[in-house]
Amino acid sequence: MKRILVVRNDKIGDFMLAWPAFALLKASLDCHITALVPGYTRPLAELCPSIDAVLADPGKSADAAAQKSLLKQLESGNFDAVICLFSNFRNARLMWQAGIPQRWAPATKLAQVLYNHRVKQRRSESAKPEYEYNLDLVRAFLVKNDITPVEPATPYLGFDASELATFREQQAAALGIDAGRPWLLVHAGSGGSANNLNTAQYAGLLDRLQAAFPGVQPVLTAGPGEEDLATEVADMAGDGAVVASGLPLPDFCRLLACGQLFVAGSTGPLHIAGALDVPTVGFFPLRRSATPLRWRPLNSEGRHLAFHPPKGAEAEDMSSVDVKAVTGQISSWAAEFLS
């Protein structure tokens, strides 16, 4: 087993939760790992220390020429095995057409007939974190091939300390803030991945956390198309909050690495922060496929705090989250990070 393809060609958050699986595979086996990801995820994949090469998927909507080109790249990759952490019929057919000898995937959906190695997982039950399902699939592959799994550990993403210190100074100058203060990062956007707190809730949370920790510097982070939302929260929160936007994805990751605490809904940036092991606070709905357990970030023990609608509220009604109540819990828990 020298060349292995790992497929996670869906959203950023899903891809970040595959990093422990990449790390497990790389630590356990002397192999070359190629990741098949969407184009917008490629800059993240290129930061992953466990990935040797990145193959960009043009997506199901791409024209016939792009689809043919992808298949040719898969055929010429000389892969000994493929592990599809995200399986659908398109992925299954591509791996079968490419003639990859070992084709691994969860044993779900009709697509499973095109794989020759399947692992029963029942992800729809959301009985464990998404990253654990990914790890289970890689462990099954390793055991089947008589390879002893070497378990990975956090953090899964990191930057050189001196490089990060320089970046922090540069960002502080660009934003007009003090690099020496603890940075409280808040990401109010959701990318449509799950219901989130509203702007008034985020502004109220910021106000209360600033009152509890007067020394912190609040920074609203924003991805493409989220600048107006972040600005609205910053304006509602009062003096001192700034908006950081327009950063390339690798620099956005560096910005998150500069934070002493990161607050967000269940979205991609939360999972980037978790991979960095920056302490995170996450807000999740209670729909079974979107619970705090299923989408738990990659933080080490004690560095993540989760909230969801209270008992009796609608599972998707994030407006039912009592910001005043959760701020008290966050303040007690986060004192060691923000003081």
> Which residues, other chains included, contact 60 with Cβ-Cβ below 8 Å and sequence gap of 6+?
90
Query: Is residue 130 situated within a structural domain?
Result: yes
Shared domain check, 173 and 136? no
Buried b (16+ CB within 10 A) or exposed e, 10-28: bbbbbbbbbbbbbbbbbeb
Report the candidate in 189, 186, 229 with the shortest Cα–Cα distance to residue 208: 186
53: amino acid identity, one letter = A
- Identify the domain boundary among 144, 173, 199: 144
Query: Is residue 232 situated within a structural domain?
Result: yes
Q: pTM for the full model?
A: 0.96
Per-10-residue mean pLDDT, the chain, length 339? 95 97 97 97 98 97 97 98 95 97 89 92 91 98 98 97 98 97 96 86 96 96 95 92 97 98 97 98 93 97 97 92 96 95
Give the chain's count of helices (H) and strands (E): 12, 12
Distance CA(92)–CA(86), nearest Å, equals 10
Q: Return the pLDDT at 122.
A: 85
Query: Is residue 35 situated within a structural domain?
Result: yes
Q: Return the pLDDT at 261.
A: 98
* 3-class state of residue 139 by DSSP: helix
Shared domain check, 171 and 268? yes
- Identify the domain boundary among 116, 144, 172: 144
Q: Return the pLDDT at 190.
A: 85
Report the candidate in 45, 39, 62 with the shortest Cα–Cα distance to residue 6: 45
Query: Is residue 153 situated within a structural domain?
Result: no
Tokens read off for 44:
């993240």
CATH at residue 134: 3.40.50.2000
Q: How many domains does the chain have?
A: 2
Shared domain check, 133 and 16? yes
Range of the domain at 79: 3-144
Query: Is residue 299 situated within a structural domain?
Result: yes
201, 309 contact by CB (below 8 A)? no
Query: Is residue 322 situated within a structural domain?
Result: yes
CA distances from 235 to 91, 134, 181, 256 (A): 44, 40, 21, 21
Query: Is residue 305 situated within a structural domain?
Result: yes
36, 5 contact by CB (below 8 A)? yes
Shared domain check, 327 and 189? yes
Tokens read off for 164:
């990060």
Query: Is residue 149 situated within a structural domain?
Result: no
